[in-house]
Structure 1
Amino acid sequence: MATSKEPHDSFGGLKIGNKDTINISLFCELCKLLLLDPIQLLCCGTRLCRWCSKKGLLDSKPFICSFCHTKQEQKQAHADRGAERELNMIKIDCYSCSWNGLYNDYKEHLGQQHAYLQCSDCCEHFFSINLYEEHRQEICEYRSILCELPGCMGLIKWTNIGTHYLCDTHQKMLLEVIIQYIFKHKRLPNKSNCSATITSVVSDMKQELITVQENVNILLPEVERSLNNCTRLKSEHDQIKTTCDNLIQQKNTVGKMIKDDNEKVNKCIQEQNDMEKQIDDTKKLQLYTKTLSLDTDSTMTFSFIKHPHEINLPFSIYSSQFKTSIFGYNFMLRICSTIISGNENQEYLSIYITLLRGEFDEILLY
């Protein structure tokens, strides 16, 4: 397995097992490992890991590039999308086991199997020095940091730094630093003048603190009033939100009821249409099934319904059954259009009479 010397312990990209098969342009120029979060210097195009660039190249003004020695007003770099695309296409062998695969899958594999670096404050694990150092120095909420005030020693939890700034020890040291700064710039000649100046400075600072306290006391009632107004407005907001939620729920309920009612109305309309159709069918059936008798003058009139668009179309119509008398013969007429074969322009009306069997056939003569 190929290895590479790490020139810096505070930053480093990805270790891999097949370094010799990967294009050298995909390795960081500082840590000499495979690029992790690649960036590119605008002055010369040098590719670096983002954290390596941040910690390995000073953000001095003016900035002098360590690679091309170009002098710039400040360091200029941008995320290297081209390097990211190239990295996503290469096949990598794990430096610690037999695994191999693509770049993003390799990072996931390292995070699951080879995250050997552990944060001592939050116990989170990391597979790269860069990720570990960035977490320790800038991300971990439980990390300890040094106060930047000269003479204020000791480590402070990052979450407690605000409280530390307000503590008596820090405030006294801050006052001493201010006094030393004043002495340094005024260049006082002797101790008597120094003592008088210290007394004067302390007196002035006390007076300023008293003035600040008075202003705070003046503003405090307004702040309390504003806090009360905020509490009241929040309560009103919660009530309005609750009312809106209830109205929305009622709207949804009413909408569902309307939808159900519409479905019921549509169902009733459909049932009514079906019933009307059944009534019409029944009336038509009665028309054809009702047995009629000849009038006293031995005549009978039948009603035939023929729509206008059917006038010129071939048709065949049956009459209702009719009898010659109450106990007479049972007949039915059929009226239809007839076209002589070979001459469609000659159309005739044909009438057929059919003798039917009836309930009095035994006493009638045929």
Structure 2
Amino acid sequence: EHADFECIDCHKRFYSINLYQEHREEICEYRCVPCGLPGCIELIKWFDMGAHFLSMKHQTILFKLTTDICTRKKHTSDTANPFNVDSNIQQELMAINENMDSIPSAVDNSLEDCKRLNSERDHIQTKNNDILPQGKEIGKELQSGNEKFKKCMDGHTETEKQIDDAKNSRWPTKPLVLDMNDTITFPIAKQPNDINTPFSIQTPEFCTSSWGYKLVVRVCSTYISGEERQEYLSVYVSLLRGNMDSILVFPFPYDIYVSLCDQSKQKKDIVSVIKTGDNVSAFNRPSSDRNNEVGIVKFCPLKFLKDPESNYLKDGVFFIGIFIDFLNMEPKLV
């Protein structure tokens, strides 16, 4: 079992007797020592001892002690006689002498405490000088942390730029690939008033990896006439001809999950899946630039975006996420 020591003043715990003794004798700011003046029973933090000696409370006790030494309770006049008075005076003088002898001892104790406190102060100053190089090292680490934070902010700025590009209908020209979670998310710029008019937006082409399949997504509004008379948000996916098709497996074997991202803290994304096994012809090796698109006509009611308090359309942007289920994880659908 390890040693376990607790400082009685600050309650800090130590697992080494050396660290505990060093803390008690030199470091603990809450360590208290007695004043040393008869009648003053207060425990003082060692670094406040000088201030305590000058305090009104300490000076009052010192004055009272001096007064008590020099003055004794008067005897009633009816019981006094010359012999008793002389005897009492001698006794009081003896008591005064005894008490006077105790004053130098108290003063010596106070002086010793002052010397010890000065020594501890010098030791702490030495410790501080030793800590300064460590402070410089910490400063270097903070500078390194600031550089990492700057890189993070640069990445955040790039994300904001992509959102601005989406709002201005400009897509980045750099080829896009899925992230480490096999996911890619597209910001779609649409003001609430624009949702009321038919629209169709195609995302940039993207690849499952640098050597993987190439796809594209189209998001549009669809009006179902007849008895239903309902508007829907529709999402379609097309498989494109890619540079690595000759070494890839076809038909494209992985299910594609489509999500409309909830931008609130509730994170109630709307998710649906495109089963590639149900649409084999659309996922064969492309013989032209692109195969026929396949998708989800009734992905979600369009009113989810028209609602002024919608959690899916914020600041004129909604997000469509694409997840390729390479590991057959079958995420839970909402």
Select the structure of larger CA radius of gyration: 1
Structure 1 length as normaliser, TM-score?
A: 0.24
Q: Which structure carries more helix by proportion?
A: 1
Structure 2 length as normaliser, TM-score?
A: 0.26
Q: Which structure carries more strand by proportion?
A: 2
